[in-house]
Amino acid sequence: MNPVEEKNPETKPSNFIKDIIDEHLKSGRFKEVVTRFPPEPNGYLHIGHAKSICLNFGLAKDYNGSCNLRFDDTNPEKEEEEYVKSIKEDIKWLGFDWEDREFYASDYFEQLYEYAVKLIKKGKAYVDSSTMEEIRSMRGTLTEPGKENTFRNRTIEENLNLFERMRNGEFKDGEHVLRAKIDMSSPNFNMRDPVMYRIKHAHHHRTGDKWCIYPMYDWAHGQSDSIEGITHSICTLEFENHRPLYDWFIDELEIHHPQQIEFARLNLNYTVMSKRKLLQLVKEGYVTGWNDPRMMTISGLRRRGYTPESIRSLAERVGVAKRDNVIDVALLEHSIREDLNERAQRV
């Protein structure tokens, strides 16, 4: 099939996420729709992010709701203000506006810490003094359950004391971690006592040197969603196995419970969209920067001459799927040709 004919332009692709939202509104589970786009400020956005931006902001618009922009700034060693600025520029260029709803995971560091203390007091979290190598070796395999270590039996008082001392900077990087106490024999690896906090004496681009313990993504993500009143936390398929953990944290804390929904990320053939690999191309001088026209970053596509309308058109043509697939890059090229054909002045 010709890649540009995969979608009938007269027929909008199905959207299973809308079906879920419709049911939630009908049943009264949620009264409104609040989504979010939560990039990590450790690089420039690429064409894959554009699909998520269009989806989250688009759904909010369709339901007269709102979409937050939240920077997942929980890894201070890789994050920079330059990336924050570029992300905001790209979103606005695509035609979306978060208005006054700009947030940062670091806004919630104190609340996340208090939540962690609450889990410790419930006997649902503990300080583990194992090395990361030891933790990995005791997690088990796909066919073998993990093993509990002696630190798992620490008293609540001991855990509270150690966690406070971790925050106060009394320990070196990697000396301790805070883990959730769930089930080391769970068939889901993410439920085998995941790490919630690690010690990192690193300067944060917003909080400076105030914190030396930083929350892991799985811990910060769901609670940040809850704090902001998000109703539908929409993420890509690799987080499907993380959903039980997302739900477990929120249920144990007894706080507002968003619905996590996973969709297939945008994959284009013949393109590099890994942020890590794009960063390598920049650092090793293979390209002139993140906005090099050869890059599949949004700023690179903009510099190449792509219009925001053409990228939004691609996102709509691809639709929302539950199964990963690879889209022919010709569909992206068709989108820009079609847009320019409509707007180009002819003599």
Say if CB 218 and CB 177 are below 8 A apart.
no
Q: Is 326 exposed, middle or buried (0-12, 13-18, 19+ CB in 10 A)?
A: exposed
81 catalytic residue (yes or no)? no
Q: Is 40 a catalytic residue?
A: yes
Token code pair at residue 275 = 């942020």
* Among 6, 7, 40, 304, the one annotated catalytic: 40
Compute, in degrees rounded to 10, the torsion defined by CA atoms 38, 73, 115, 230: -10
Q: Which two tokens stand for residue 290?
A: 């993140």
Q: Is 13 helix (H, G, I), strand (E, B) or coil?
A: coil
Q: Which of 181, 192, 243, 275 is catalytic?
A: 275
Which helix (H) or strand (E) segment holds residue 245: the answer is helix 243-253
Which of 78, 118, 265, 303 does the annotation list as catalytic? 265
| Burial of 25 per CB tally in 10 Å (0-12, 13-18, 19+) | middle
Q: Identify whether 240 is a catalytic site residue.
A: no
- The rounded distance, in Å, linking the Cα atoms of 333 and 336 is 5
Count other C-beta atoms under 10 Å from residue 99's C-beta: 9
Q: What is the CA radius of gyration of the chain?
A: 22
> What is d(CA 206, CA 21) in angstroms, rounded to the nearest whole number?
35
CB burial class (10 A; 0-12, 13-18, 19+) of residue 325? exposed
List the catalytic residues. Answer: 40, 265, 275
